[in-house]
């Protein structure tokens, strides 16, 4: 897409300084914008604006000149948002069920859905109103997807699992794979049937390549409003509270109960069969090995109050020097003893 600066100024209702005939082909952040792009600068980035590689800059009305074509506006961020929308062609999908999709027997499909080519909705599944299924999604037998949910390509929702309303699931995520449950006798592991399901409540968002295992019996539950990043593992029979934030590569072992509004930093791990109280924050790479109370800020492995972890890390850095001092002290004391004799 190519637009002249003059037209851009009109779009954002701004005042143009410079060549209105200059052609802009895109919009970008100030540190990445190239010679055919427009960027924006608020007060804090004013100096960068004159040095940056952009062809033109959007500035707050009242600012000075930056040595390149500029458009002065009342609200810089609003103008930027308008341009982002202008330069990003909108997506458009055909409403309805693609004739190339596979719809099983006894399936219920709501109004205004978009079911794309090669999506599979298996027998007895229920698809709510306004649901979007991208290509190569698999919705298993007796599974349900609630109104307004958006499921990207290559996602699997296994049999009997229930996805709520307005849920977003990113590509290659798997809802309802079997839990990791075996009994072991004479070194041989025998599978424990995993006949439960997964319940994903309303307004949850789940990143790419997330694995949420179905319960052995009953349900693995993801509470409403919880947001999960990429490559997260959630074991069977976990119950995650509402409005949690689970950052990338976290692993939550089976049968763990998590309260509401808990944040797990990236690469955090937990053992299974524990209770983790709500309204807490666990820093990246925490290792949680037992029950935890409400309202804590913890880090480390094994996890401890964040303040203690910082103290321990500070002490650790001094450890090699301390070892030396220790030897010196021992020597001194030995010398005293020698002197006494």
Residue number with CB closer to a second copy (149 or 237): 237
One residue of 59, 147, 239, 298 binding a second copy per CB under 8 A: 239
Report whether 124 contacts 140 (CB < 8 A): no
Q: Is 182 exposed, middle or buried (0-12, 13-18, 19+ CB in 10 A)?
A: exposed
Four-point Cα dihedral 301, 307, 311, 314, nearest 10: 80
One residue of 191, 290, 294, 305 binding a second copy per CB under 8 A: 191
Q: How far is the CB of 192 from a second copy (least distance, A)?
A: 11
One residue of 35, 51, 64, 314 binding a second copy per CB under 8 A: 314
One residue of 269, 282, 298, 303 binding a second copy per CB under 8 A: 269
* Binding status of residue 202 toward a second copy by CB under 8 A: no
Residue number with CB closer to a second copy (149 or 253): 253
Report whether 204 contacts 228 (CB < 8 A): yes
One residue of 2, 108, 294, 315 binding a second copy per CB under 8 A: 315
Report whether 126 contacts 146 (CB < 8 A): no
* Binding status of residue 335 toward a second copy by CB under 8 A: no
DSSP, collapsed to helix, strand or coil, labels residue 170 as coil
Query: Phi/psi of residue 3, each to 5°?
Result: -135, 140
* Binding status of residue 287 toward a second copy by CB under 8 A: yes
* Cα–Cα distance, 90 to 180 (Å, whole number): 42
Q: What b-and-e string marks burial along 233-244, b requiring 16 or more CB atoms within 10 Å of the CB?
A: bbbbbbbbbbbb
Site string for a second copy, 131-160 (x = CB under 8 A): ---xxx-x--xx---------xxx-x-xxx
- The set of residues, in sequence order, having a beta carbon less than 8 Å from that of 29 and lying 6+ positions away, is 39
- The set of residues, in sequence order, having a beta carbon less than 8 Å from that of 244 and lying 6+ positions away, is 223, 226, 227, 258, 260, 261, 262, 263, 264
Residue number with CB closer to a second copy (110 or 266): 266
One residue of 123, 294, 295, 305 binding a second copy per CB under 8 A: 123
Q: How far is the CB of 199 from a second copy (least distance, A)?
A: 10
* Binding status of residue 180 toward a second copy by CB under 8 A: yes
* Cα–Cα distance, 97 to 14 (Å, whole number): 44
Helix (H) or strand (E) holding 222: strand 219-222
* Binding status of residue 294 toward a second copy by CB under 8 A: no
Q: How far is the CB of 177 from a second copy (least distance, A)?
A: 4
**Catalytic-labelled residue, pool 160, 170, 224, 236:** 236
* Binding status of residue 325 toward a second copy by CB under 8 A: yes
- For residue 275, indicate whether it is catalytic: no
* Binding status of residue 280 toward a second copy by CB under 8 A: no
Residue number with CB closer to a second copy (50 or 217): 217
Q: How far is the CB of 23 from a second copy (least distance, A)?
A: 19
* Binding status of residue 201 toward a second copy by CB under 8 A: no
Residue number with CB closer to a second copy (72 or 138): 138
* Binding status of residue 264 toward a second copy by CB under 8 A: no
Using CB under 8 A as the binding rule, the residues of this chain from 40 to 79 that contact a second copy are none
How far out from the chain centre does Cα 4 lie?
37
* Cα–Cα distance, 238 to 256 (Å, whole number): 5
* Binding status of residue 92 toward a second copy by CB under 8 A: yes
Q: Is 230 exposed, middle or buried (0-12, 13-18, 19+ CB in 10 A)?
A: middle
Catalytic residues: 236
């Amino acid at each position: 897409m190519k637009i002249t600066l003059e037209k851009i100024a009109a779009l954002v209702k701004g005042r143009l300084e410079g060549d209105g005939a200059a052609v802009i082909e895109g919009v970008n952040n100030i540190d990445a914008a190239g010679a055919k792009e427009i960027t924006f600068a608020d007060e804090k980035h004013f100096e960068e604006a004159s040095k940056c590689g952009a062809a033109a800059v959007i500035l707050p009305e009242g600012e000075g000149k930056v040595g390149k074509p500029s458009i002065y506006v009342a609200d810089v961020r609003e103008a930027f948002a308008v341009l982002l929308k202008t330069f990003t062609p909108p997506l458009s999908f055909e409403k309805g069920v693609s004739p190339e999709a596979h719809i099983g027997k006894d399936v219920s499909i709501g109004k205004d859905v978009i079911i794309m080519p090669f999506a599979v909705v298996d027998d007895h599944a229920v698809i709510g109103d306004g649901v979007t299924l991208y290509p190569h999604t698999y919705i298993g037998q007796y599974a349900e997807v609630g109104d307004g949910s958006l499921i990207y390509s290559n996602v699997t929702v296994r049999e009997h699992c229930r996805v709520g309303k307005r849920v977003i699931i990113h590509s290659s995520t798997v809802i309802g794979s079997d839990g990791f449950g075996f009994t072991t006798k004479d070194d041989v592991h025998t599978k424990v049937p995993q006949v439960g399901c997964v319940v994903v409540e309303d307004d949850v968002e789940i990143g790419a390549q997330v694995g949420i295992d179905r319960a052995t019996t009953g349900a693995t539950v993801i509470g409403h409003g919880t947001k999960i990043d990429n490559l997260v593992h959630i074991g069977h029979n976990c119950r995650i509270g509402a409005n949690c934030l689970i950052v990338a590569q976290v692993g939550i072992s089976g049968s763990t109960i998590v309260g509401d509004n808990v944040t797990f930093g990236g690469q955090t791990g937990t053992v299974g069969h524990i209770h983790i109280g709500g309204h807490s924050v666990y820093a990246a790479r925490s290792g949680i090995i037992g029950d935890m109370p409400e309202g804590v800020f913890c880090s480390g492995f094994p996890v401890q109050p964040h303040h203690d972890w910082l103290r321990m890390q500070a002490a650790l850095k001094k450890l090699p020097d301390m070892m030396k001092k220790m030897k010196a002290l021992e020597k001194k004391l030995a010398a005293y003893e020698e002197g006494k004799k």
